[in-house]
Amino acid sequence: MKEIIAIAQTYSAVSIVLPKLGDMREQVQSEIQSKAEQKSELLEVQKQYAKQYRVSVHQWSYGRLMANIHSSALKAGIVIEESKQPIRGSPQEKAKELAIAAYHSRKIN
């Protein structure tokens, strides 16, 4: 989290764009189900894979991370923007689309 703020400061960013949490749970569930179906056609194997994947993904609190970033950004004078993140794509593609969506949202408002 400190690194995010430090990078923003290094590049004199006036804002940081974070994904909206609204439908994050549904997106994660959909992704887990898709991966489980790719692993096996057997329903029991899919359920076991999904359970193991959920445990590995939920070892950290995304909401708490976002709250900490908000707090640190506020102290540093950096604005936090939120925008909808695409479901598909590499992390880099998702970040790019997130930034573009925030930019377009800013132009509309």
Domain ranges in the chain are 2-108
Least confident of 6-20, 26-40, 81-95: 26-40
Residues 54-98 have pLDDT tens digits of 777 665 677 788 899 999 999 999 999 998 888 778 889 988 999
Q: Is 58 left (phi over 0), alpha (psi -120 to 50) or beta?
A: alpha
How is 5-68 classified by DSSP, letter by letter? HHHHHHTT-SEEEEE--TTHHHHHHHHHHHHHHHH-S-HHHHHHHHHHHHHHHTTS-HHHHHHH
Q: Is the pTM of this model over 0.85?
A: no
Determine the pLDDT at residue 81.
93
Work out the mean pLDDT of the chain and round it to a whole number.
85
Work out the average pLDDT over 28-48: 84
Q: What distances in angstroms separate CA 68 from CA 25, 62, 73, 75, 79, one per listed residue? A: 20, 10, 8, 11, 13
